[in-house]
């Protein structure tokens, strides 16, 4: 029998999408409970349940007598998730930070055999593959390929991560709270990595391999796997 999605969940998912994609900007006030009820055709009780979940996930905060407002994005301390925070590293050394989504794919054809082996997935398992380039003072310095278990992170829209830290987004929307293991391996720029960075063959780089474990049904499973390449001055802060 198909599982029926609760009414508040449909409303919650839509509001999260609208907040993450910037349709409802940070600091903006949400419509009143009455207006939300009319918009989603649900009762006041359902509206309050959805708003309570949004507040719990730290998407909104309430002002007494004024309503609900969209919170500004938290840092890793604010969400309680420890991870390799490239943005913080770049900004802490006084450089301008930005990032760009290079590609966003849902892989359904059984490819990515090496990744599936690492994550212990069969060929029928759907996997997100997201490529992100990070820049310091407009120069590419960190390229991150991430692989996420689709069944754990349903559903991600591209517009939700275009301007948001991926890890913070996963924590807020899906309650992602992984235990990470990290491995670094030194190397040099080769033909493949030369296409990513404006550097010469033979220049140093560091490979970063990241595995995120979560307990699912009593068993530790890798729900997140990432492979990153760091170059330039960023290397000394990664190793």
> pLDDT tens digits for 190-204?
988 888 898 898 999
Asked if 115 and 219 sit in the same domain, the reply is yes
Asked if 97 and 114 sit in the same domain, the reply is yes
- For residue 3, pLDDT beyond 60: no
CA angle 120, 85, 150 (to 5 degrees): 30
Asked if 129 and 204 sit in the same domain, the reply is yes
Distance, in Å, from the CA atom of 57 to the CA atom of 60, rounded to the nearest integer, reads: 8
pLDDT value, residue 80: 47
199: which 2 tokens?
Answer: 């550097």
Residue 153 sits in a domain of what CATH number?
A: 3.40.1410.10
For residue 128, give the nearest of 99, 160, 97, 93 by alpha carbon: 160
Residue 2 lies in a domain: no
Task: State the Rg of the chain over Cα.
Answer: 20
Question: Rounded to two decimals, what is the model's pTM?
Answer: 0.80
**Domain range spanning residue 44?**
7-70
Label residue 78 by pLDDT band (50, 70, 90).
very low
Asked if 143 and 183 sit in the same domain, the reply is yes
What are 95-149's pLDDT values in tens digits? 999 999 999 999 999 999 999 999 999 999 999 999 999 999 999 999 999 999 9
Q: Give percent of the chain above pLDDT 90.
A: 61
For residue 16, give the nearest of 193, 238, 8, 32 by alpha carbon: 8
Of the listed ranges 44-48, 84-88, 158-162, the least confidently predicted one is 84-88
What are 45-59's pLDDT values in tens digits? 999 999 999 998 888
- For residue 14, pLDDT beyond 70: yes
Number of domains in the chain: 2
Residue 116 lies in a domain: yes
Q: Please give the span between the terminal C-alpha atoms of the chain, in angstroms, as a whole number.
A: 51
Residue 206 lies in a domain: yes
Of the listed ranges 5-14, 87-96, 161-170, the least confidently predicted one is 5-14
Asked if 193 and 96 sit in the same domain, the reply is yes
Instruction: Tell me which long-range contacts 186-190 makes (C-beta under 8 A, separation of at least 24).
Output: 186/239, 189/231
Domain boundary among 70, 87, 108: 70
Tell me the torsion sign for CA atoms 199, 205, 208, 209.
positive
Better-predicted residue by pLDDT, 239 or 37: 37
């Amino acid at each position: 029998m198909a599982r029926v999605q609760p009414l508040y969940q449909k409303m919650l998912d839509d509001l999260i999408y609208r907040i993450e994609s910037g349709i409802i900007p940070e600091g903006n006030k949400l419509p009143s409970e009455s207006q939300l009820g009319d918009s989603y055709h649900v009762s006041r009780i359902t509206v309050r349940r959805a708003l309570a979940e949004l507040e719990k996930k730290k998407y909104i905060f309430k002002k007494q007598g004024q309503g609900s407002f969209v919170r500004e994005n938290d840092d890793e301390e604010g969400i309680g998730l420890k991870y390799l925070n490239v943005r913080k590293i770049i900004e802490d050394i006084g450089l301008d930070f930005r990032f760009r989504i290079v590609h966003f794919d849902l892989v359904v054809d059984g490819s990515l055999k090496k990744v599936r082996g690492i994550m212990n997935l069969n060929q029928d398992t759907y996997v997100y593959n997201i490529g992100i380039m990070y820049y310091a003072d407009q120069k590419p310095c960190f390229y991150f390929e991430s692989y996420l278990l689709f069944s754990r992170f349903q559903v991600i829209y591209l517009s939700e991560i275009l301007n948001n830290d991926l890890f913070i987004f996963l924590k807020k929307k899906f309650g992602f709270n992984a235990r990470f293991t990290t491995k670094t391996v030194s190397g040099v720029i080769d033909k493949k990595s030369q296409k990513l960075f404006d550097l010469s063959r033979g220049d140093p780089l560091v490979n970063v391999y990241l595995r995120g474990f979560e307990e699912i049904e009593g068993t530790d499973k890798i729900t997140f796997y990432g492979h990153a390449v760091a170059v330039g001055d960023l290397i000394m802060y990664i190793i």
